[in-house]
Amino acid sequence: MNKWFELILGLVLLIGVILVGWASSVYSWVWLGRDFNFLHAAWVFLKGGIFWLVTLIAFLLIILGINDLRE
């Protein structure tokens, strides 16, 4: 693929995702009784990712500490 096409396509997709997230949180997107707030879903996903990242870093530090105690 052309590098400029990839850059433009990436920017268009990023702006599209930002606009959809914003619009779904500002306006009431309800379909079949379900609320589609993509910004809230992205926030929950980010918080879950941060939780698992901190958990894995804690496990890594514990393993490294046990390894240092063995030496």
The string of DSSP codes covering the chain is: --HHHHHHHHHHHHHHHHHHHHHHHHTT-EETTEE--HHHHHHHHHHHHHHHHHHHHHHHHHHHHHHHHH-
For residues 44-59, give the mean pLDDT.
91
- pLDDT grade for 12, boundaries at 50, 70 and 90: very high
User: What integer pLDDT is reported at residue 53 of this predicted model?
Assistant: 93
Torsion of Cα atoms, 13 then 31 then 43 then 9, to 10°: 0
Structure token digits, residue 21: 């997230």
Domain edges within the chain: 3-70
User: What integer pLDDT is reported at residue 27 of this predicted model?
Assistant: 76
Question: What percentage of the chain reaches a pLDDT higher than 90?
Answer: 18
pLDDT in tens, 21-36: 888 777 777 777 767 7
User: What integer pLDDT is reported at residue 56 of this predicted model?
Assistant: 92
